[in-house]
Structure 1
Amino acid sequence: MSKRYGLITALLVLILIVAGCSNANNNAGNGEKDESSGQTAGTSAKEGNLDSKASYEDVTVKIGVQGKGGLFGKAQEQKWFEEAFGEVGARVEWVEFQSGPPMVEAMASNHLDFAGMGNMPPISAQAAGIDFKIISQLLDGKNNVAIIVPTDSPIQTIADLKGKKVAVTKGSNAYNFLYQVLVKAGLAKSDIQEIQLQPDETQPSFESGKVDAWAVWDPYITLNTLSGKGRVLADGETEGVLSPSFQLVRSDFAKEYPELVTLYLKTFEQARQWEATNQEEAFQRYADERSIPIELVQGMQSRAAMVNIPVSDETIAGQQNTADFQFELGTIRKQINVADVFDNQYIEEALK
């Protein structure tokens, strides 16, 4: 793969979950509630402080990341998570992945404890019997997934996609978005030519005109629209089809170490607060490490502004609709009750 497309793939990390902690400018760390959650904190997973250091000296916390750099890169450089977990005797191991589906597979084999991803991989994982819990919401899903077309394309509406070649990554949140939007427009799955590709494979095909449209997530949306290579045909805000992202934990880890799940979310929230109060420094760092214009970073952040909040009943209902739709589509083989995997107790405690 060329250096150019390697860079494009690397950009994906900028919208993924952030991690880290800061000793300054941290509301969550000093006991103030995050007002954006709009919810009241509930009972902790385990009352009181964390146990003594000796209780966790044999524990290695495995945190999944998608790509390198971004705030996760800074977190690793500053050893923020290592310090937070080290205070109670636990160790941290970083595990790199290219997308969400391999992350849940790693959880199934006990090789990963925490991960952040879009709304489709958890549905597929739950249907496959993988044991995990969703412990907070990361993105509202309005603008982080879209269908884009070349700037000079004659395609102006979703109906114009009939008979066209549309690239998409199967099992991703973009896959769900594409087909929900098609159904809303009165089109069937058979009305388009589905081209299953990973994003790094799709980029050259999109630029060369080998595909007519591309259902994808950011940073690819921002990368193509700001560079003048493409324009947004539809996104979650225009179509009313949201693609939220979530944080997951392996269920057995949560059962055995509930207080460490809360510690993870507290550390994550401290990082989010750091970025919010140091945007100029953070965004310049992201731009410098990728050798890209800061405007590109700002565009991606505007499409995918991180939250770290309890998952609302409304969002859970939306996730159930997505699961039901995927069952009808045949993407998953059994119906599921998505409420079974949501657990807000840890984020409610972390945001106290």
Structure 2
Amino acid sequence: MRKFLSIILLLTLILTIVAGCAQDKAPNAATEDTSDKKSSKDLVVRIGVQGSGGLFGKAREDQLFEKAFEQYGAKVEWVEFQSGPPMTEAIAADKLDFAGLGNMPVITAQAANIPFTIISQALAGNKNVGIVVDAGSKIQSLEDLKGKKVAVGKGTNAYDFLLRALAKENIKVEDIELINLNPDEGQAAFDSKGVDAWAVWEPYLTINTLSQKGRIIADGELLGLLSPSYNIVRTKFAEEHEDLVVTYLKTLNSLLEWELANEKEAVERYATERNLPVALMEATRQRALPINIPVTEAIIQEHQKTADFQYEIGTIRQKIDVQKVFDNQYIEKALQ
């Protein structure tokens, strides 16, 4: 009997030790389940911007993102672009992590299976894109563009706006002569009257209208067409560094708060950067006020309509479900 009891006690002791070992290992097992999260130490975060000044110019000067990421041991590299399409190409090549860009480059990128995620809305999209003509031009409407040279950057939100605007007025793309130009080239062509019209975004619309060089014949508000802009992140980066994505959006929010609280200083700063009158920069902000908010279902539905239109006319080669690239979790955490 004593021998039997000894065996029972021995087995109990062994089971206790095994259970204790299992408990010791449990936290490690949980850690392994989230092993796709990587350390940010010595990571270089590539942030894409269009141009060197503006809101991000302030951020670069004050090293706001550098200071925000420093707590994670991460560094920042700034990469400049003239428009959105090269940004998505850089994301596809794993050479860019964050970008702010218009709706059309986003649609084209998804159709090309580029792995990115939309993390917030950056512009409302009702007046930030339009078509401008020379102040002395006889062109008064979209109908008058038939047979005329129209400058636009292919693949940009202005390109999407132009195509949708023409379709709404039952005008064929073949009825106009499209000239593919980036903003710098477009401005030069517009100044020299090398083109009859220019589809472009802010601040170029306001620069050319308030300087009395041109006038707007169509924009989103006039035609009821939205061209929202978004903040996006390389999907794998977001999966591995969720904390940095939230920090990026929080830092952007702090920038926008500074801009609103110091609007006079901000506008004067932006005007100086572009060597433009302050009044002109104030007007630009009225047409394209930057935001950083969750993307609503209504905007997503509008984005889907735009994607469907681009598929129908053959601009993109596959039909896409845009819902798959929107994720508000990061901006919602940043706003808490």
**What is the aligned-residue RMSD (CA, Å)?**
1.3
Name 2:30's counterpart in structure 1: none
Match for residue 109 of structure 2 among 111, 120, 125: 125
Letter in 2 for 1:70: G
Do residues 285 (structure 1) and 249 (structure 2) align?
Answer: no
Say which SS state the counterpart of residue 125 (structure 2) adopts.
coil
Matched residue SS, 1:56: coil
Deviation per residue, 1:197-246 (Å, 9 max, x gap): 12211223223322211111111101110111100001000101111000
Shift of 1:160: 1.6
Conserved 8 A contact 2:122-2:231? yes
Taking the aligned partners of 2:128 and 2:202, their CA distance within structure 1 comes to: 5
TM-score by length of 1: 0.83
Tell me by how many angstroms 1:68 deviates.
0.7
1:263 equivalent to 2:247? Answer: yes
Q: Counterparts of 1:223-302 in structure 2 under 5 Å?
A: 223-302=207-286
Aligned-partner Cα distance in 2 for 1:285–1:190: 42
1:137 aligns with 2:121: yes
Deviation of the 1:168 alpha carbon: 1.1
Provide the C-alpha distance between the structure 1 equivalents of 2:236 and 2:39, rounded to a whole number of angstroms. Answer: 17
Q: How does 1:1-352 map to 2 (within 5 A)?
A: 55-352=39-336
TM superposition shift of 1:77: 1.4
* Cα distance in structure 1, aligned partners of 2:216 and 2:102: 20
How big is the shift at 1:55? 4.1
SS at 2:105's partner residue? helix
User: By how many angstroms is 1:337 displaced?
Assistant: 0.6
Q: Distance in 2 between matches of 1:294 and 1:249?
A: 33
- SS of the residue 1:178 aligns to: helix
The superposition leaves residues 271-329 of structure 1 with CA deviations (integer Å, 9 ceiling, x where unpaired) of 10110111111111112233221112112111110111100111111111111111112
**Larger displacement relative to structure 2 (201-210 or 234-243):** 201-210
Counterparts of 1:101 and 1:278 in 2: how far apart (Å)?
Answer: 32
Tell me what 2:26 maps to. none
Give, in angstroms, the shift of residue 102 of structure 1.
1.1
Indicate the residue corresponding to 1:43 in structure 2: none
- What CA distance in whole angstroms lies between the structure 2 residues aligned with 1:243 and 1:258? 28
Please list every run of 5 or more consecutive structure 2 residues that lacks an aligned counterpart in the other structure: 1-37
1 CA distance for matches of 2:333 and 2:185? Answer: 42
Q: Supply the AA of the counterpart residue of 2:309.
A: F
1:48 aligns with none
Residue identity in the other structure for 1:294:
V
AA of the residue aligned to 1:185? E
Q: Which has the higher helix share?
A: 2
Distance (whole Å) between structure 2 residues aligned to residue 242 and residue 125 of structure 1 = 19
Taking the aligned partners of 2:266 and 2:85, their CA distance within structure 1 comes to 28
Bigger-Rg structure (1/2): 2
Summarize the Cα distance change of 1:225–1:171 in structure 2 as closer, same or farther, 3 Å threshold. Answer: same
Corresponding residue SS for 2:88 = helix
The answer as to whether partners of 2:150 and 2:178 remain within 8 angstroms in 1 is: yes
SS at match of 1:88: coil
Provide the rounded CA distance (Å) in 2 between the counterparts of 1:345 and 1:195: 40
Q: Which amino acid aligns with 2:68?
A: A
Aligned partner letter, 2:92? A
Q: How many angstroms apart in 2 are the aligned matches of 1:154 and 1:262?
A: 50
The TM-score with structure 2 as length reference comes to 0.86
Return structure 1 stretches of 4+ with deviation > 3 angstroms.
Answer: none
Corresponding residue of 1:3: none
2:34: which partner in 1? none
